Chain A
Amino acid sequence: MSTTTPAGQQPARRRLPRFRVNLRQYGILAALAIIVLLFQILTEGRLLLPGNVNNLIQQNAYVLILAVGMVMVIIAGHIDLSVGSVVAMVGAIAAISTNQWGLPWWAAVILAILVGALVGAWQGFWVAFVGIPAFIVTLAGMLIFRGLTLVLLTGGTINGLPEQFTAIGAGWLPGWFGELGGRDVLTLVLGALAAAMLVLQQVRSRATLRKLDLPREPLTSFWLKIGISALAILAFTWLLSDYNGTPIILILLALIILIYTFLLNRTVFGRHIYAMGGNLFAAMMSGVKTRWVNFFIFVNMGVLAGLAGVVSTARAGGAVASAGQNYELDAIAAVFIGGAAVQGGVGTVVGAVIGGLVMGVLNMGLSILSVDAAWQMTIKGLVLLLAVAFDIFNKRRAGGR
């Protein structure tokens, strides 16, 4: 068997390639930073007033929640055009159930999420088991659920929701630790904890890479990235503590981001979503139950749309038939700004959330500057186009296939 052992011809010690800085990941963070800075200057410092920072979160929570569901849909190679209508319908049901049927607030929330899941199961059924493209199924859904919302709200707008319910979208954690120099201590503590967790997690995953002898990014850029992110978290909570403290919705968002990042990166379900987006046939031939995965992607999107419906209804303090208009477009834009690929297989929860924040800052900055709604739309459209163009340019430069 001497022929199988090469005579000293093995490539000598393999050298680790220099890790190419992932411009896209930085690109989106940098874009967010630049947009914040730009509007901070244009608005003469008003963008980052504590109240505005607070509103940024409370006003945009729905996009961020929807974007998390949407990124999974898009990674799998689908699209969901119905989420705006689902948000409106779920909002209407939640409002009717508390206001007219007298359900307690928590039951209304559960009902809303269940309805969302049901809607998702309905759409998932058509996509996964009947094989109709998601574009068609959700385009139909967009009409169906908007129509049903109008039916539900024939009596007009429903206001007067329970206080606990509206708190989900427009309330704050109580100041358990008191105040220090006029700032909410709890918020500061949470900020410090979040920053510390981020650093710890990053350092640990780098250590794992080293242990496995896998390529890592250069140390300086690694620390630079962590340092800036941690500082941003601290600054962000510093500002929030000066207003009403920690919005309840922020805690909810943080949980969603953590859970879904874990789901996509570490669980079989998440892996199967990437596998299907990367090559559907190869996934099938590897034993992935592609139909069920597709089904649950839509159920999950429905659940998150239900939650977004609760959040935006709570924030608005009532249900209107025109709620949720264009939400699907905001979510889809956030996902693509966040680096997902139109062909599927690529995308991250964190990217989608940052993409959503870019849209949010843009919205807020333009509103502070009292830019006309028509121009706001135009500008958002251009930003989406530029973000994706930048992505493609980067891939070409990296000498892709």
Chain B
Amino acid sequence: MNNTPILRMDNIVKNFNGVTALKNVSLEVTRGEVHAICGENGAGKSTLMKVLSGVYPAGTYGGNIVFEGEQVGYRSINESEADGIVIIHQELALSPYLSIAENIFLGNEISTRGVIDWNRTNREAALLLARVGLDENPATRVLELGVGKQQLVEIAKALSKQVKLLILDEPTAALNDEDSAHLLTLINHLREQGITSIIISHKLKEIRQIADTVTIIRDGETIESFSMSEPDATEARIIRSMVGRDLSSLFPPREANIGEVIFEVRDWSVYHPVDTTRLVVDGANFTVRAGEIVGFAGLMGAGRTELAMSIFGRSYGTNISGTVLKDGVEIQTRTVDEAIRNGLAYATEDRKKYGLNLIGDIAVNVSAAALAKLVRFGVIDRHREYKVADSYRAKMNIKAPSVSAITGKLSGGNQQKVVLSKWIFSGPDVLILDEPTRGIDVGAKYEIYGIINELAAQGKAVIVISSELPELIGLSDRIYAISEGVLTGEVARADATQERLMHFMTAGKDSAL
């Protein structure tokens, strides 16, 4: 490995209609290394990578980019890909109805005179899948794959383009521990094959595991860049540079004040909406007390989200049976509206698809689930709507110039805060948070944990679904484990360890509680 930089970005400046996303960012990536970029939500990480890859064409930003010794300014992704720079975005971009092979070679088809050579396509796809360690038939449609596997397909696609510099924007945000570990091993392998990677992540543990160098960006400026082999290259240092202060612990202190059972679900069963003979949730029984934070642990596909969505207005599944009780009285939650009126809230894990009106502004999104609170005689009090939204902008520390900013243009983490604001404003008694800190930086995570604690302190029942076991253990009073649609374990905070949870999470459907 020689030490010449493969990429240098100097003094990059990028404005959006008067909002400065990048003030002055410089980045130097050594050939063959894994380079991590860290920073708070809205710091400008994704924007920097979009500048590099030509999503924002040359001329729309200031500064200088040198790739492989040549000054470059890409005008489109095609141009950067031709030079071997491939970016895998925060939101995956595969076509669900096409097969793995078709996706890998999309826009790059193996063909003779316009006619696709399916044999070669599938053969080469199989080779690429082997390289990324994905054991699937290339003819499988992408919609049948979980996020973890889709991620691998994206990387296979990048490899098919003779990638030299692979950029991964929060690749593990939506992955469980197992898939994440697999992905990190793969990145390591690619490094051995001479492929340079840039990885953006909020998971510092991963960065310590994999990165050779880390660059930290705050408010659109490079703060520092250092080698992870330096003795003082610690997580604490990264955090300090990111947020500009020390963060003594990852979880804010909390004094649990747990009351009576206020939420109870009995014998809850749900069948798959398409394959109607398949049980997705099988006879789930659980309770949540006032002021209690209850975690739900499970592997990807275990049925956590399906359980939550089926309870919340039957938004998932068919042939749903079982009862829901609040304060000991049976309630109906047949429609989302009814669920909300009965004091339930569900913040979805997929904010783009189910959580936000991306072309609407922050105010419209914050008020969306509780418009009734702002209405008199059918007329919306816009004045109050803006005030309310603004108070959440301040409280949740949403980085946006004003509440009339369009949510689609916020950074991923800030969008997540808008989703949370919306459900907190709906004033629920029972709050179900599905992956509430996905894609959120350490500082903001701390803030969100604080908010969750506060909600519990107000006597609400809070359910947290998360794939990050340390988060569940740090936050919850009690944790249920799900495996294959069945509740397999219930662990009190004092007894919760990752090993113990893992044991229940992999127990299989014959180990029902």
Write the residues of chain A forming the contact surface with B, with a CB cutoff of 8 angstroms. Answer: 1, 3-4, 6-7, 9, 11, 14-18, 20, 208, 211-215, 266-269, 271, 274-275, 278-279, 281-289, 345-346, 398-399, 401
Contact = CB atoms under 8 A, between A and B. Distances in A.
B402 A213 contact: yes
Interface of B: 16-19, 56, 60, 219, 243-249, 252-253, 312-313, 315, 335-337, 339-340, 346, 348, 353-360, 364, 368-369, 371-372, 375, 378-380, 382-383, 386-387, 390, 399, 401-404, 408-409, 422, 446-447, 450
B382 A287 contact: no
A289 B335 contact: yes
Given A267-B378, A267-B379, A286 B368 contact: yes
Given A3-B446, A20-B18, A278-B358, 4 more contacts: A212-B383, A269-B378, A282-B353, A399-B60
A17 B358 contact: no
Contact of B357 (A11, A214, A266, A282): A282
Contact of B368 (A269, A275, A398): A275
B315 A284 contact: yes
Contact of A6 (B243, B340, B387): B243
Give me the 3 closest cross-chain CB pairs, A-B, nearest first: A278-B357, A17-B18, A287-B337
A190 to B, nearest CB: 26
Given A16-B402, A268-B378, A275-B364, A286 B17 contact: no
A11 B409 CA distance: 19
B17 A283 contact: no
Nearest to B378: A267
Contact of B336 (A14, A213, A286): A286
Contact of B354 (A14, A212, A275, A282): A282
A9 B484 CA distance: 46
A22 to B, nearest CB: 11
Contacts of A6: 243-245
Nearest to B14: A399
Nearest to B340: A287
A271 B364 contact: yes
Nearest to B403: A214
Contact of A285 (B244, B253, B355, B378): B355
A289 to B, nearest CB: 6
Contacts of B335: 287, 289
7 contacts: A3-B248, A212-B386, A213-B402, A279-B357, A282-B354, A398-B17, A401-B408
Contacts of A401: 408-409
Contacts of B348: 285
A266 B380 CA distance: 5
Given A275-B360, A287-B340, A215 B401 contact: yes
Given A284-B336, A285-B348, A399-B56, A271 B380 contact: yes
A266 B382 contact: yes
Contacts of B336: 284-288
B363 to A, nearest CB: 9
Contacts of B253: 1
B219 A11 contact: yes
B371 A268 contact: yes
Contacts of B346: 285
Contact of B17 (A15, A17, A345): A17
Nearest to B443: A6
B404 A215 contact: yes
A275 B245 contact: no
B379 A266 contact: yes
Nearest to B346: A285
Contacts of A14: 401-402
Contacts of B380: 266-268, 271
A260 to B, nearest CB: 14
B200 to A, nearest CB: 18
B390 A212 contact: yes
B360 A9 contact: no
A268 B404 contact: no
Contacts of A1: 252-253
A267 B16 CA distance: 32
Nearest to B372: A268
Contact of B18 (A18, A211, A285, A289): A18
A394 to B, nearest CB: 12
A284 B253 CA distance: 36
B263 to A, nearest CB: 19
Contacts of B371: 268, 271
A20 B60 CA distance: 17
Contacts of B18: 17-18, 20
Nearest to A6: B245
A278 B402 CA distance: 20
B44 to A, nearest CB: 13
A324 B375 CA distance: 39
Contacts of A288: 336-337, 368
Contacts of A4: 252, 446-447, 450
A274 B364 contact: yes
Q: Name the residue among A208, A279, A345 with the largest chain B CB count within 10 angstroms.
A: A279
A293 B311 CA distance: 23
Contacts of B244: 6-7, 9
B17 A399 contact: yes
B360 A274 contact: yes
A275 B422 CA distance: 14
A218 to B, nearest CB: 12
Given A4-B447, A267-B378, A212 B387 contact: yes
A261 to B, nearest CB: 13
Contact of A283 (B219, B246, B357, B402): B357
B16 A399 contact: yes
Contacts of A283: 357, 368
A275 B363 CA distance: 12
Q: Name the residue among B56, B243, B348, B368 with the largest chain A CB count within 10 angstroms.
A: B368
A16 B357 contact: no
Nearest to A18: B18
Contact of B19 (A7, A17, A278): A17
Nearest to B399: A11
B337 A279 contact: no
Contacts of B383: 208, 211-212
Q: Name the residue among A4, A14, A266, A285 with the largest chain B CB count within 10 angstroms.
A: A285
A85 B18 CA distance: 48
Contacts of A268: 371-372, 375, 378, 380
A169 to B, nearest CB: 32
Nearest to A274: B360
Given A20-B17, A268-B380, A282-B368, A214 B446 contact: no
Contacts of B249: 3
Nearest to A9: B244
Contacts of A18: 18
A278 B360 contact: yes
Given A4-B450, A214-B403, A289-B337, A9 B245 contact: yes
Contacts of B339: 287
A266 B56 CA distance: 36
Contacts of B382: 208, 266
Contacts of A3: 245-249, 252, 446
B402 A214 contact: yes
Nearest to A262: B379
Contacts of A11: 219, 399
A285 B353 CA distance: 10
A287 B427 CA distance: 14
Contacts of B248: 3
A342 B31 CA distance: 46
Contacts of B355: 282, 285
Contacts of B409: 401
B388 to A, nearest CB: 11
Contacts of B375: 268
Nearest to B360: A278
Contacts of B408: 401
Contacts of A279: 353, 356-359
